[in-house]
Amino acid sequence: MTSQVSLTWLVAELTSTLGISTREICRHPQVSWKNEIEASTAQWCHHTQDFFALACMALAVLPSHAADSWMRAQVEALPAFVRQVLPCGQWQEAGRQGTYRVVEANVHEGAGSELYVQWVTDPLQGEASRTTKTLAFPELNDDHRQYRFESVQCRARGAAIAITVKARYEHDEDDHLHTFTVRVEPGGGYRVSEAGARARR
């Protein structure tokens, strides 16, 4: 395989997998010291002045573990109160599509929990994924009626998703485990119901 063919494959992978524009990819000498003629014959796009260093470094010589640690800094920066993030099901709306993302967060130093759902777009060529909507659930995220989640699970239900939350209530006199089902529709409508109790919405 020639260098140019290899380069073409690499650029295609960067743009399709990571959503990086070809205008954000540059030659090694433009991001670190190197012979000025390094990669001078490589062809893939016209360059602009506004390069992103992260994309450019993909064409430099990287440590062998780099492919497994691309988002290390971002992951390390996640707040400690984010307990888990679950991808769950696909949505389509207004010509775009993506994945639902369920977020469970601790509050009051772990004494309580809160639940959120986000709409995350799939990456397109030249456009990275982004969050277009965030939905909270006041029926569960109530500071005056605090629940502490024991488990959160999610399953796709056609175009909707169904989240099962098992939780304990701070004012229960016994050690009762509550089971909630949260059904979320593509447009953002939702319904919270508790097993053995009247639907709340």
Identify the pLDDT of residue 83: 93
> Which residue ranges make up each domain of the chain?
3-73, 78-194
pTM attached to this predicted model: 0.63
Q: Would you write out the chain's pLDDT as a tens digit for each of its 201 residues?
A: 556 656 666 666 666 666 666 666 666 555 555 555 555 666 645 443 343 444 444 444 445 445 568 888 888 999 999 999 999 999 998 888 999 999 999 998 878 999 999 999 998 877 889 999 999 999 999 888 899 999 999 999 999 999 999 999 988 888 899 999 999 999 999 999 999 774 444
Neighbours of 121 (CB within 10 A): 18
CB 11, CB 27: distance < 8 Å:
no
